[in-house]
Structure 1
Amino acid sequence: MPGKQFILWGMLLLTFGCGGVSDAPDRRIVKGSVTLNGEPLEGAVIRFLPQPAGPVAAGKIINGMYEISNKGGVPLGNHRVEIKGTPILPADTEGKSLGEIDAATKPAIPIPDKYHSKSELEATIEAGSEPFFVDFELKE
């Protein structure tokens, strides 16, 4: 009989000890557009920072559009949003030297601090199975 109890306890430990409840927050794919003074933002990075705390989700803005889908998207809930310009690489870099790529790279578009380091942007990501759309219209 002691052998059967050992097997029973072992099965219970495997059942409850492995693959238990995940601490990862629920997430949703988020897409949208970003304009600066009415023009699509050519190149930048967008970050969703959960409030008051949690895992940050980020993505690239290219030609005014972004999509955050890595790790299932953006955690649900309230977020402070930061947008920062990044250098814009040429579309085709194949066969080019680093010097040629560097010469063709456009400098980062300056984004006002009120959208980055002192961001006033906010978004609330709600539960759902389809992508959630959030657009941002930035003005200097």
Structure 2
Amino acid sequence: MRDAVWTLLSLLLITLPTIGCGAKSAGPETYPVTGVVTLAGAPVDGAIVQFTPTSPDAGISGAQTITRPDGTFEMKINLDMGKTAKLGLPPGDYKVAITKLQATPEQSAPNIPPKNVLPPKYATTDASELSAKVTVDGENRFEFPLAK
């Protein structure tokens, strides 16, 4: 019995340091991506910034985040079906879409969706001409000055 206890303790000591380490390196290699969104020179608070890779080999289908009151944002990807997040994006070319949804009193009914208050040309990656190239050794800070 004593030998079994020591064997079990030895196994725990060997495996404990590796438990949880996988979460830190899970998913693709990412690099910090930050930026700012402005409209006519003013910061846009609460905008949804969406990055969609142009290559199917990017390792992700896309990522989105919300801007802070000063218009700044920091991208992250979701892992494990959204249970965990990892800062940054894999390197590559991305199309960018930006929206800001706002409900009006008339839209408080359950079947009326909120309205995008930014110019529609930025709403989808197909219509938007916004893009970003994330690099391994670059600053990866992007400014998106939107025009009305």
TM-score range, shorter chain: 0.5 to 0.7
Q: Percent of aligned pairs with the same residue?
A: 32
The residue aligned with 2:140 is 132
**8 Å CA contact retained: 2:53, 2:92:** yes
Q: How does 1:72-83 map to 2 (within 5 A)?
A: 72-83=87-98
Structure 1 residue ranges, 4+ long, deviating more than 6 angstroms after superposition: none
- The residue aligned with 2:63 is 57
Amino acid at match of 1:83: I
What's the Cα RMSD here? 2.8
TM-score in terms of structure 1 length = 0.61
Structure 2 match to 1:32? 35
How far did residue 23 of structure 1 move? Answer: 9.8
1:42 and 1:72, CA in 2 relative to 1: closer, same or farther beyond 3 A? closer
Contact 2:102 2:117 in 1 (8 A): no
Question: 2:50 matched to which residue of 1?
Answer: 47
What is the aligned length?
102
Aligned-partner Cα distance in 1 for 2:86–2:68: 20
Q: Give the TM-score of the pair, scaled to structure 2.
A: 0.58
Q: List runs of 5+ in structure 2 lacking aligned partners.
A: 1-21, 77-84, 109-113
State the alpha-carbon separation in 1 of the partners of residues 74 and 123 from structure 2: 18
CA distance in structure 1 between the aligned counterparts of 2:88 and 2:49, rounded to whole angstroms: 13
- Deviation (angstroms), 1:62: 1.8
